[in-house]
Structure 1
């Protein structure tokens, strides 16, 4: 039985943006600034990281356009190498993704609970309950079908992008005097500082490779996959440079 493609270019673009933009962008800039110790190294590293990410994304876009299969990584690795390698890769992804989903749910609950729950329920037990509940809600939405999942994903991604834009606007409109802050100078090797900065940057840019798992669900995949990935990554790069 074949799966009827239901996702359009906008849906996949929102998926790309959502896969990349996560908690990293709110933590990595401080780490990158510490490693860089220089504003030129700082922005050069973010720009270079975005360029490398765009090259990687276009590579996956080409794979997705040439082989838009249902099953993503498993089908691609089976075709290129051997089903045994594909089996191992998929199990690694299942285990690692399960751990990351749990971690994100718990961290998100730490921010949601003070807003949603009264003071006497601010404890680790309720953080876990909220985390489990959020995972179950999203699982139920996915259970309703991929189009319903895409609609929910689109709303959440647009909200996420708007929050980043609001944060950027607040930063640019701030009346804080920049001279109040002191940049710690980097007295070490420029290449070393640049390389150390890229470690956190590549972590922040990661996630786009998961898009090939949706190959068989994309309408007119050969055209829409590369365009959606390029547009999504381009949007992320602009947002990251703006927020930094």
Structure 2
């Protein structure tokens, strides 16, 4: 059974916001501040990250408009390059996405666990129980249907936006550090430090590219995909700059460098002793939104791989009534639950996840140059076409490769492990293709 479009522009806009705003904005600013010890470098990293992400969003908006299909992030590689290259890139990204979901779910459980769990379960075991329970609840919601999961996503995303706006009001009640902080900055390699700070920034801004996986689910995709991506990423940039100004105003750069519970600090300024409990609930809801949207998006990549015969046909089976890939959905959630037993801290997985993402996203963006040539017949049909081409995709690709090189210099072991994972994907592809039996007519 094929997938029937059921999502409108607002649904996709909320999906964009939730794909991007996970837990990164509540953890990454501390990492950015550690590598950007002046306000100029700190806000410069966030502004550059926003501008480059907007370039990426515009690039992927045109990619989605020119090639709207389910599992688009896989399909576009296959169409523009080769199925082997498509599999090599996407199989590690799926693993990376599952790892990110597992790690973020753990962070959310760490926030909510002390609030609702009994004292005997306020430990690692209690956190695991809470994490697994929340993932399973979202699994059930997604199993009920794509529209049900989209409605859930809309509610969670609007709640998340409201939470960030409330936390930003701490700037009016906190001690303003911005005007009185003086920092002596003694890093002899500002370019290298700035590149490393962008790792955390781009981790926080990433995710919007997965919207092209919903090409087959969107009503009027050639119009709604680019508009939803642009509106969603513009909303994210605005929210990120607001909350970073609030962080800096209340804590200053030196405070940011030593604070990990940033949202809890802002909540404490606003609500006093009750702030921790309030922000714990809000943070948990934010986590649920991020986990839910990834449970929605990633099985669509399996669908595309199954269409090309790289994965078994059961991955593309869709329930006629709910539009759910029941096996693909269960497989991804199963992968998340397995990784939950091994996931480490946000800081530990950051380099691994971002190396996969920077390589994958920059390479995916290159497909716009090929799509422009292969689909030039669409140029006068009303689809979205970005302005300032080819400058926009060139800025995005160049910056992401700068970050990739920065990761390699800073953590060569992580980079080599990631490169090995890409090569393993290529080997798996050819082994799988060779072992496939010829399809016979029934």
How far off is 1:28 after superposition? Answer: 1.9
Taking a change above 3 Å as real, the CA distance of residues 11 and 186 of structure 1, as seen in their structure-2 partners, is same
Structure 2-normalised TM-score?
Answer: 0.52
Q: Give the corresponding residue for 1:232.
A: 232
161-170 or 76-85: bigger deviation:
76-85
Secondary structure at 1:178 match in 2? coil
Q: In 2 relative to 1, CA 77–233 (structure 1 residues): closer, same or farther, beyond 3 Å?
A: same
The 5 A counterparts of 1:54-69 are 54-69=54-69
Question: Matches of residues 105-120 of structure 1 in structure 2 within 5 Å?
Answer: 105-120=105-120
Structure 1 range deviating more: 174-183 or 144-153: 174-183
Q: Does structure 2 conserve the Cα–Cα contact (< 8 Å) formed by 1:36 and 1:193?
A: yes
Mapped to 1, the partners of 2:28 and 2:99 lie a distance apart of 20
CA distance in structure 1 between the partners assigned to 2:140 and 2:182 by the alignment: 48
Which whole-Å CA distance do the structure 2 matches of 1:179 and 1:111 have between them? 28
CA distance in 2 between counterparts of 1:132 and 1:101 reads 12
CA shift, 1:101, in A, is 2.0
Determine if contact 1:34/1:184 at 8 Å carries over to the other structure. no
1:174 corresponds to:
173
**With CA pairs under 8 Å and 6+ residues apart, which has the higher RCO, 1 or 2?**
1
Deviation at residue 239 of structure 1 after TM alignment: 0.7
Distance 1:51 1:175, change over 3 A: closer
Conserved 8 A contact 2:49-2:201: yes
Distance 2:211 2:180 in 1: 40
- Aligned residue runs from structure 1 range 10-29, under 5 A: 10-29=10-29
Q: 1:143 to 1:202 in 2, by over 3 A?
A: same
Looking at structure 2, the residues matched to 180 and 52 of structure 1 have their Cα atoms a distance apart, in angstroms, of: 28
| Number of matched pairs | 243
Change (3 A) 1:175 1:134: closer
The residue aligned with 1:200 is 200
Aligned pairs (5 A) from 1:50-129: 50-129=50-129
Equivalent residue for 1:211?
211
Deviations 1:96-140 (A, max 9, x none): 222222222222111111122222221211211111111111111
What is the aligned-residue RMSD (CA, Å)? 1.9
Unpaired runs of 5+ in structure 2? 245-442
Residue pair 2:25, 2:204 contacting (<8 A) in 1 also: yes
The residue that corresponds to 1:186 in the other structure is 185
| More moved, 157-166 vs 197-206 | 197-206
Give the stretch that moved more between structures: 159-168 or 106-115: 106-115
